[in-house]
Amino acid sequence: MTQNRNSDVKRIEISFVQRDAPGWILIYMKADEIQHEIWASYCFPPFEKLVRFLEDIMSNNLPSYFDVDQEGSFKYFGALPHENGDLFHFTLHDSCTRESCAHVPIDGIFEKKQFITEFIEKFEEFLSTRYDDILWDGGDLRSINLGKLIMKKEDKMKS
């Protein structure tokens, strides 16, 4: 298991942006004051996999992994267990080979509640204020069931 002091816990900031060009939603992830960009394509929509990944983190079903196919290049998400059950080790890798990863933009210990809450709140805000389903042919993102994840988050926040 990954070990780290609580003082080394990082914070994640998330935003979702839909450009005027059809078929793309940008996911911005910021950690350590550095912003990273992930291009989500309607050809390979990653959002249901992202929700399952967040559910795995919340349920401590770790390790958990998934990738975002950016139509030729990939971003790899990884979540590993931590000795403190409220924390987890998160990595975001660029396109990798078996031998090595080209670049590891995010690698650190995060608080589960902050990480998941940030994703849920920013995704819901995006869907209710800036999302245009005309520009996204990958199905209506508002149909993604965040309910299970939100209930788990609320249960965790009560405890």
pLDDT of residue 151: 61
Q: Tens digits of per-residue pLDDT, 37-77?
A: 999 999 999 999 999 999 999 999 999 999 999 998 899 99
pLDDT of residue 57: 96
pLDDT of residue 94: 82
Residue 27 in tokens: 């996911």
* Cα–Cα distance measured from residue 142 to residue 159, given in angstroms and rounded to the nearest whole number: 29
Q: What is the pTM of this model?
A: 0.84
- SS3 of residue 142 by DSSP: helix
Q: Write the single-letter amino acid at 32.
A: D
Residue 62 in tokens: 């770790």
Q: Parse the chain into domains and list their residue ranges.
A: 8-158
pLDDT of residue 154: 62
Positions in the chain whose pLDDT score sits under 50:
1-4
Cβ density class 4-42: b for 16+ within 10 Å, e for less: eeeeebbebebbbebeeeebbbebebebeeeeeebbbbb
* Cα–Cα distance measured from residue 12 to residue 35, given in angstroms and rounded to the nearest whole number: 10
pLDDT of residue 122: 96
pLDDT of residue 1: 41
8-158, which class in CATH? alpha beta
pLDDT of residue 153: 57
Report angle CA 75, 79, 80 to the nearest 5 degrees. 140
* Cα–Cα distance measured from residue 19 to residue 55, given in angstroms and rounded to the nearest whole number: 28
pLDDT of residue 104: 67
